[in-house]
Amino acid sequence: MEKKNPCIVMVLSPGLSHLIPLVEFAKILTHEDDELHVKLIIPTLGPPSSSMNSILNKNSLPPNITFTLLPQVNVEDLIITDENPQPATQMQLTVKHSLPFLHQELTSLITSTNHNILAILFSLFSTDVLDLAKEFNLLSYVFFASGALFLSFCLHLPHLDDQQQQHEHEQEESLLFHHQLTEKTTVHVPGCPVPFQVHDFPQPALSQRSTQAYKSFLGVCRKYSLVDGVLVNTFTDLEADLIRAIEDQANNRENTNSPFVYPIGPIIQSATSNQVNRLVCLRWLDNQPPRSVLYISFGSGGTLSQEQLNEIAFGLELSGHKFLWVVRNPSNFGGSAYLNQQKEDPLRYLPSGFVDRTKEQGLVVPSWAPQVEILGHGSTGGFLSHCGWNSTLESIVHGVPMIAWPLFAEQRMNAVLLKDVLKVALMPEKVVDNDEDGIVKREEIARVIKRMMEENKEGLEMRKRIKELSDAAAAALTQNGSSHKALSTLTKKLKCSI
């Protein structure tokens, strides 16, 4: 009989921050085992962006990783009942809408190819895929492209919800605000030593319990306890207590003594030569003094209001420090470019004369920059970041301390972790405790930039701590490192399933 090649199927959700680490993970798996094939199946919302195309460029993928883009879903196809749809809801609905195509793909993979499917892995908002995994009798794993902190919160949310359901008359309320108003002003996440303010949690969890955003998010969280395991992009030395707390929460699962959580990170984007604005950024950095540049970026789709954009520009000028800033068109919703591509030139929204006045001080690039190479460049000394999890890991891996400026999703939780637990980030006052107009003013921005970029005890300690984390991150990936061991445990289990 013809030998079948082992194959892992990965189902993504829209959004670059899910695509990037899953593609990198696929590369690691196929590098470790050259018989293994990885098939990426990608639901899409709208046309693919140029950044997505460059990540999926056939020349940058090894031959044993192949992909299929499922037929494009349009925003109008999604049945969205909430007034302001959340990216998380859009991602979940896109996957749901794509299930019939996914079913077809899986059927043809199983019946007409020479592949032996070991397991199906899916992104954190793609849990509807679990039903297909059960139908095809496949092992199912979530690839959680965030940290153990957010995972612990997601596993805890169904318990909070169950508690509240017991009080029938309170069912319509927002769960976490109820928690705050009736019990305490802070919320504890299992395994995290510092408490959270309610507004630190992602918007879907704060919505009224009757909203689509809340129900969809809760539905995703409930399914986590039904999968065979969760691969989380973190490492033991970064989030040890949280990882332990997750195992404890999962302890009552039926019929298994394998681990539930596999901390296999940090898995970060590898540098590629075809990134937008690459040469202009790297050449400019080459001409700057060591550790002198503050890199400013809000991830793959973070946006600021026009007023906040102006304040940052003036704050940079006031600080006098060198900067490399990835600018996007303004918007009043912090994640407005996450699932929507922007067409205009964002530089035209900067204050009049700013680019000219700062041409010796900084570089401004529209929309996209080669982030990993910038963070790894010796001239970069700080990162003003929205604290998306990939950016967080990339900064840690390269030992660059951060100014935390969270915008949406679980970014405020990540910011608390960075600032209060790991103590490798500063946070400008008022980003979280917004004053009435919700704007961080230029003077505060200049003050925090100086604290980060100038020689002082606080800065030195932050640099020392992030260097230790950077070393621990590298150690976790070595042959005897914690993440490598977690991955070996997983691959052994998968191979036993043949």
Q: How far apart are the first and last CA of the chain?
A: 15
Residue 395 in the binding site for ligand UDP (CB under 6 A): no
Footprint (CB under 6 A) of ligand UDP, residues 361-380: 368-369, 371-372
| Amino acid occupying residue 146 | S
Residue 329 in the binding site for ligand UDP (CB under 6 A): no
Footprint (CB under 6 A) of ligand UDP, residues 431-470: none
Residue 388 or 428 with smaller CB distance to ligand UDP: 388
Binder among 302, 381, 401, 459 for ligand UDP (CB under 6 A): 302
Q: How many Cβ atoms from other residues are within 10 Å of residue 349's Cβ?
A: 16
What is the nearest approach in angstroms of ligand UDP to the Cβ of residue 338?
Answer: 6
Binder among 44, 236, 269, 303 for ligand UDP (CB under 6 A): 269
Backbone angles phi, psi at 327, to 5 degrees: -105, 140
What is the nearest approach in angstroms of ligand UDP to the Cβ of residue 369?
Answer: 4
Footprint (CB under 6 A) of ligand UDP, residues 150-209: none
What is the nearest approach in angstroms of ligand UDP to the Cβ of residue 348?
Answer: 18
Compute the Cα dihedral for 452, 457, 465, 467 and give only its sign: positive
- The residue count of the chain comes to 498
Residue 216 or 391 with smaller CB distance to ligand UDP: 391
Separation between Cα atoms, residue 438 and residue 334, nearest integer Å: 12
The count of residues interacting with ligand UDP (CB under 6 A) is 19
What is the nearest approach in angstroms of ligand UDP to the Cβ of residue 141?
Answer: 20
**DSSP helix/strand/coil, 255:** coil
Residue 89 or 140 with smaller CB distance to ligand UDP: 89
How far, CA to CA in Å, does 488 sit from each of 71, 237, 456, 480?
Answer: 35, 18, 43, 10
Residue 302 or 459 with smaller CB distance to ligand UDP: 302
What is the nearest approach in angstroms of ligand UDP to the Cβ of residue 56?
Answer: 14
Binder among 13, 90, 211, 297 for ligand UDP (CB under 6 A): 297
Binder among 191, 265, 301, 459 for ligand UDP (CB under 6 A): 301
Residue 202 or 388 with smaller CB distance to ligand UDP: 388
Residue 140 or 391 with smaller CB distance to ligand UDP: 391
Residue 336 in the binding site for ligand UDP (CB under 6 A): no
Residue 301 or 315 with smaller CB distance to ligand UDP: 301
| Amino acid occupying residue 106 | L
Residue 326 in the binding site for ligand UDP (CB under 6 A): yes
Kindly provide the b/e burial profile for residues 141-170, where b requires at least 16 CB atoms within 10 angstroms of the residue's own CB: bbbbbbbbbbbbbbbbbbebbeebeeeeee
Tell how many helices (H) and how many strands (E) occur in the chain: 18, 15
Residue 300 in the binding site for ligand UDP (CB under 6 A): yes
Contact 252, 343 (CB under 8 A): no
Binder among 389, 425, 462, 484 for ligand UDP (CB under 6 A): 389
Separation between Cα atoms, residue 498 and residue 495, nearest integer Å: 6
66 alpha carbon, distance to own chain's centre: 23
Cα-atom radius of gyration of the chain, to the nearest Å? Answer: 22
Binder among 191, 299, 362, 428 for ligand UDP (CB under 6 A): 299
| Amino acid occupying residue 336 | S
Binder among 388, 399, 401, 428 for ligand UDP (CB under 6 A): 388
What is the nearest approach in angstroms of ligand UDP to the Cβ of residue 84?
Answer: 18
Residue 311 or 373 with smaller CB distance to ligand UDP: 373
CA neighbor of 230 nearest in space, from 327, 126, 83, 356 = 126
Give the residue nearest to ligand UDP (CB): 388
**DSSP helix/strand/coil, 10:** strand
Residue 117 or 339 with smaller CB distance to ligand UDP: 339
Residue 195 or 376 with smaller CB distance to ligand UDP: 376
Backbone angles phi, psi at 86, to 5 degrees: -85, 145
Contact 494, 139 (CB under 8 A): yes
Contact code string over 7-36 relative to ligand UDP, x by CB under 6 A: ---------xx--x----------------
Question: For the packed helices 457-476 and 442-453, what is the interaxial angle rounded to 10 degrees?
Answer: 70
What is the nearest approach in angstroms of ligand UDP to the Cβ of residue 408?
Answer: 8
Separation between Cα atoms, residue 223 and residue 63, nearest integer Å: 33
- Tokens representing 164? 């509240």
409 alpha carbon, distance to own chain's centre: 9
Separation between Cα atoms, residue 477 and residue 471, nearest integer Å: 10
What is the nearest approach in angstroms of ligand UDP to the Cβ of residue 270?
Answer: 10
Chain residues in the site for ligand UDP (CB under 6 A): 16-17, 20, 269, 297, 299-302, 326, 368-369, 371-372, 388-391, 394
